Amino acid sequence: MIRLLLAEDQGMMRGALALLLDREPDISVVAQAATAAEALQAALRTAPEVALLDIEMPGGNGLDLAAELRERVPGCRVLILTTFGRPGYLRRAMEAGASGFLVKDGPVENLAGAIRRVLAGERVIDPALAAAALSDGPNPLTDRERDVLAAAVDGATVADIAGTLQLSRHTVRNYLSAAIGKTGTRNRVEAARSARDKGWI
Protein backbone atom coordinates (compact mmCIF):
# COMPACT_ATOMS: atom_id res chain seq x y z
CA MET A 1 0.00 0.00 0.00
CA ILE A 2 1.16 3.52 -0.85
CA ARG A 3 1.05 5.63 2.32
CA LEU A 4 -0.34 9.03 1.32
CA LEU A 5 -0.51 12.35 3.18
CA LEU A 6 -3.16 14.75 1.85
CA ALA A 7 -2.78 18.48 2.59
CA GLU A 8 -5.63 20.68 1.31
CA ASP A 9 -7.18 23.63 3.13
CA GLN A 10 -10.69 23.23 1.69
CA GLY A 11 -12.46 20.63 3.82
CA MET A 12 -14.90 19.44 1.18
CA MET A 13 -12.17 19.02 -1.45
CA ARG A 14 -9.89 17.27 1.06
CA GLY A 15 -12.64 14.88 2.11
CA ALA A 16 -13.64 14.08 -1.47
CA LEU A 17 -10.04 13.43 -2.52
CA ALA A 18 -9.42 11.21 0.51
CA LEU A 19 -12.56 9.21 -0.19
CA LEU A 20 -11.74 8.74 -3.88
CA LEU A 21 -8.07 7.88 -3.35
CA ASP A 22 -8.83 5.46 -0.49
CA ARG A 23 -10.90 3.47 -2.98
CA GLU A 24 -7.76 2.72 -4.98
CA PRO A 25 -6.58 -0.81 -4.14
CA ASP A 26 -2.97 0.24 -3.51
CA ILE A 27 -3.36 3.70 -1.88
CA SER A 28 -4.04 4.41 1.80
CA VAL A 29 -4.56 7.99 3.04
CA VAL A 30 -2.69 7.84 6.35
CA ALA A 31 -3.10 11.53 7.26
CA GLN A 32 -5.01 14.64 6.26
CA ALA A 33 -4.12 18.26 7.02
CA ALA A 34 -5.67 21.68 6.44
CA THR A 35 -2.54 23.79 7.04
CA ALA A 36 1.16 23.58 6.22
CA ALA A 37 2.04 23.22 9.92
CA GLU A 38 -0.46 20.38 10.39
CA ALA A 39 0.88 18.68 7.27
CA LEU A 40 4.48 18.81 8.50
CA GLN A 41 3.53 17.38 11.90
CA ALA A 42 1.45 14.66 10.23
CA ALA A 43 4.35 13.77 7.94
CA LEU A 44 6.77 13.51 10.86
CA ARG A 45 4.25 11.34 12.72
CA THR A 46 3.12 9.00 9.91
CA ALA A 47 6.14 8.89 7.53
CA PRO A 48 4.12 8.89 4.29
CA GLU A 49 5.66 7.75 1.03
CA VAL A 50 3.90 10.44 -0.98
CA ALA A 51 2.56 13.85 0.11
CA LEU A 52 -0.15 15.41 -2.03
CA LEU A 53 0.03 19.15 -1.35
CA ASP A 54 -2.05 22.17 -2.29
CA ILE A 55 -0.05 25.37 -2.85
CA GLU A 56 -2.19 27.90 -1.00
CA MET A 57 -2.79 26.92 2.63
CA PRO A 58 -3.13 28.89 5.86
CA GLY A 59 0.13 29.47 7.69
CA GLY A 60 2.39 28.61 4.78
CA ASN A 61 2.29 27.13 1.33
CA GLY A 62 2.88 23.84 -0.40
CA LEU A 63 6.05 25.06 -2.11
CA ASP A 64 7.83 25.88 1.15
CA LEU A 65 6.40 22.72 2.71
CA ALA A 66 7.79 20.62 -0.16
CA ALA A 67 11.30 21.91 0.60
CA GLU A 68 10.84 21.25 4.33
CA LEU A 69 9.59 17.71 3.71
CA ARG A 70 12.57 16.99 1.46
CA GLU A 71 14.83 17.93 4.35
CA ARG A 72 12.93 16.45 7.31
CA VAL A 73 11.14 13.45 5.73
CA PRO A 74 13.55 12.51 2.92
CA GLY A 75 11.73 9.27 2.05
CA CYS A 76 8.56 11.20 1.14
CA ARG A 77 7.96 12.24 -2.46
CA VAL A 78 5.90 15.37 -3.08
CA LEU A 79 3.16 15.85 -5.66
CA ILE A 80 1.70 19.36 -5.92
CA LEU A 81 -2.00 19.52 -6.81
CA THR A 82 -3.35 23.03 -7.30
CA THR A 83 -5.98 25.23 -8.84
CA PHE A 84 -3.26 27.73 -9.68
CA GLY A 85 -1.57 26.48 -12.84
CA ARG A 86 1.06 29.22 -12.96
CA PRO A 87 4.40 28.60 -14.69
CA GLY A 88 6.35 30.25 -11.88
CA TYR A 89 4.76 27.93 -9.34
CA LEU A 90 5.88 24.94 -11.39
CA ARG A 91 9.47 26.16 -11.45
CA ARG A 92 9.43 26.89 -7.73
CA ALA A 93 7.93 23.47 -6.99
CA MET A 94 10.67 21.71 -8.95
CA GLU A 95 13.34 23.80 -7.21
CA ALA A 96 11.80 22.80 -3.86
CA GLY A 97 12.20 19.13 -4.76
CA ALA A 98 8.65 18.23 -5.80
CA SER A 99 8.34 15.15 -8.01
CA GLY A 100 5.16 16.26 -9.71
CA PHE A 101 2.83 19.17 -10.40
CA LEU A 102 -0.79 18.78 -11.53
CA VAL A 103 -3.79 21.08 -11.75
CA LYS A 104 -7.05 20.07 -10.10
CA ASP A 105 -9.22 19.83 -13.21
CA GLY A 106 -8.06 16.33 -14.22
CA PRO A 107 -9.80 12.99 -13.50
CA VAL A 108 -9.03 11.15 -10.24
CA GLU A 109 -7.67 8.17 -12.22
CA ASN A 110 -4.91 10.42 -13.55
CA LEU A 111 -4.14 11.57 -10.02
CA ALA A 112 -3.89 8.02 -8.70
CA GLY A 113 -1.62 7.16 -11.61
CA ALA A 114 0.54 10.20 -10.89
CA ILE A 115 0.90 9.13 -7.24
CA ARG A 116 2.13 5.70 -8.36
CA ARG A 117 4.51 7.24 -10.89
CA VAL A 118 6.17 9.69 -8.47
CA LEU A 119 6.64 6.87 -5.97
CA ALA A 120 8.36 4.92 -8.75
CA GLY A 121 10.80 7.81 -9.19
CA GLU A 122 9.24 9.52 -12.20
CA ARG A 123 8.49 13.22 -12.62
CA VAL A 124 4.87 13.97 -13.42
CA ILE A 125 4.08 17.43 -14.78
CA ASP A 126 0.95 18.83 -16.40
CA PRO A 127 2.00 19.10 -20.09
CA ALA A 128 0.33 22.45 -20.82
CA LEU A 129 1.90 23.97 -17.74
CA ALA A 130 5.33 22.61 -18.65
CA ALA A 131 5.06 24.24 -22.08
CA ALA A 132 4.00 27.56 -20.53
CA ALA A 133 6.89 27.44 -18.05
CA LEU A 134 9.38 26.88 -20.85
CA SER A 135 8.00 29.77 -22.91
CA ASP A 136 7.90 32.13 -19.93
CA GLY A 137 11.52 31.51 -18.99
CA PRO A 138 12.96 31.67 -15.47
CA ASN A 139 11.84 34.03 -12.74
CA PRO A 140 13.94 37.20 -13.21
CA LEU A 141 13.31 38.51 -9.70
CA THR A 142 15.81 38.20 -6.88
CA ASP A 143 14.65 36.81 -3.54
CA ARG A 144 14.57 40.31 -2.03
CA GLU A 145 12.63 41.74 -5.00
CA ARG A 146 10.10 38.95 -4.56
CA ASP A 147 9.78 39.73 -0.83
CA VAL A 148 9.20 43.43 -1.55
CA LEU A 149 6.63 42.72 -4.27
CA ALA A 150 4.82 40.19 -2.09
CA ALA A 151 4.55 42.87 0.60
CA ALA A 152 3.21 45.32 -2.04
CA VAL A 153 0.44 43.02 -3.35
CA ASP A 154 -2.34 44.63 -1.31
CA GLY A 155 -1.26 48.18 -2.12
CA ALA A 156 1.03 48.71 0.87
CA THR A 157 2.97 51.97 0.95
CA VAL A 158 6.76 52.14 0.73
CA ALA A 159 6.83 52.98 4.44
CA ASP A 160 4.66 49.95 5.25
CA ILE A 161 6.88 47.64 3.21
CA ALA A 162 10.03 49.08 4.78
CA GLY A 163 8.61 48.50 8.26
CA THR A 164 7.46 44.97 7.50
CA LEU A 165 10.75 43.88 5.93
CA GLN A 166 13.00 46.01 8.18
CA LEU A 167 14.56 47.82 5.26
CA SER A 168 15.10 51.51 4.57
CA ARG A 169 12.59 53.27 2.34
CA HIS A 170 15.34 54.00 -0.14
CA THR A 171 16.21 50.29 -0.38
CA VAL A 172 12.55 49.38 -0.84
CA ARG A 173 12.22 51.94 -3.66
CA ASN A 174 15.29 50.47 -5.36
CA TYR A 175 13.92 46.92 -5.18
CA LEU A 176 10.52 48.07 -6.43
CA SER A 177 12.09 49.99 -9.31
CA ALA A 178 14.11 46.92 -10.35
CA ALA A 179 11.05 44.68 -10.10
CA ILE A 180 8.91 47.08 -12.15
CA GLY A 181 11.58 47.07 -14.85
CA LYS A 182 11.87 43.29 -14.89
CA THR A 183 8.11 42.76 -15.07
CA GLY A 184 7.63 45.42 -17.77
CA THR A 185 4.93 47.16 -15.75
CA ARG A 186 4.21 50.79 -14.82
CA ASN A 187 4.02 50.73 -11.03
CA ARG A 188 4.44 48.52 -7.97
CA VAL A 189 0.79 47.38 -7.88
CA GLU A 190 0.96 46.22 -11.51
CA ALA A 191 4.36 44.61 -10.89
CA ALA A 192 3.06 42.70 -7.87
CA ARG A 193 -0.05 41.57 -9.79
CA SER A 194 2.03 40.47 -12.78
CA ALA A 195 4.51 38.56 -10.59
CA ARG A 196 1.66 36.86 -8.70
CA ASP A 197 -0.12 35.89 -11.95
CA LYS A 198 3.07 34.23 -13.20
CA GLY A 199 3.63 32.45 -9.90
CA TRP A 200 6.85 34.31 -9.13
CA ILE A 201 5.60 35.40 -5.71
Q: Could you report the per-residue pLDDT of 14-41, keeping only the tens digit for each?
A: 999 999 999 999 999 999 999 999 999 9
pLDDT(132) > 70: no
On whether the CB atoms of residues 67 and 96 are closer than 8 A, the answer is: yes
Using CA atoms, how far apart are residues 150 and 50, in angstroms rounded to an integer?
30
Query: What is the CATH number for 173?
Result: 1.10.10.10
**What pLDDT score does 144 carry?**
92
On whether the CB atoms of residues 191 and 155 are closer than 8 A, the answer is: no
pLDDT band at 198 (very low <50, low <70, confident <90, very high): confident
Per-residue pLDDT, averaged over 162-186, amounts to 92
Cα 194 to Cα 13, 146, 179, distances in angstroms: 28, 12, 10
CB burial readout 168-193, b (16+ within 10 A) else e: eeeebbebbebbbebbebeebbebbb
pLDDT(51) > 90: yes
In this structure, the answer to whether residues 50 and 95 fall within a common structural domain is yes
Model pTM score: 0.70
Q: Tell me 82's DSSP state.
A: E
On whether the CB atoms of residues 5 and 51 are closer than 8 A, the answer is: yes
Query: What is the CATH number for 79?
Result: 3.40.50.2300
Q: CA torsion, points 72, 148, 137, 178, in degrees to nearest 10?
A: -150
Q: Name which of 38-42, 51-55, 81-85, 136-140 the model is least confident about.
A: 136-140
pLDDT(48) > 80: yes
pLDDT band at 136 (very low <50, low <70, confident <90, very high): low
In this structure, the answer to whether residues 130 and 147 fall within a common structural domain is no
DSSP-based three-state secondary structure for 60:
strand
In this structure, the answer to whether residues 65 and 152 fall within a common structural domain is no
In this structure, the answer to whether residues 81 and 124 fall within a common structural domain is yes
Using CA atoms, how far apart are residues 85 and 76, in angstroms rounded to an integer?
23
Q: Where are the alpha helices (H) located in the chain, listed in sequence order?
A: 11-22, 36-46, 62-72, 87-95, 108-119, 127-136, 143-152, 158-165, 169-183, 188-198
Domain count across the chain: 2
Specify which of 81-95, 121-135, 176-190 reaches the highest per-range mean pLDDT. Answer: 176-190
**What pLDDT score does 12 carry?**
93
In this structure, the answer to whether residues 101 and 45 fall within a common structural domain is yes
Domain boundary among 107, 134, 161: 134
**What pLDDT score does 58 carry?**
86
Q: Which domain holds residue 192?
A: 143-198
In this structure, the answer to whether residues 120 and 153 fall within a common structural domain is no
Calculate the average pLDDT of the chain. Answer: 89
Per-residue pLDDT, averaged over 103-132, amounts to 85
pLDDT(106) > 90: no
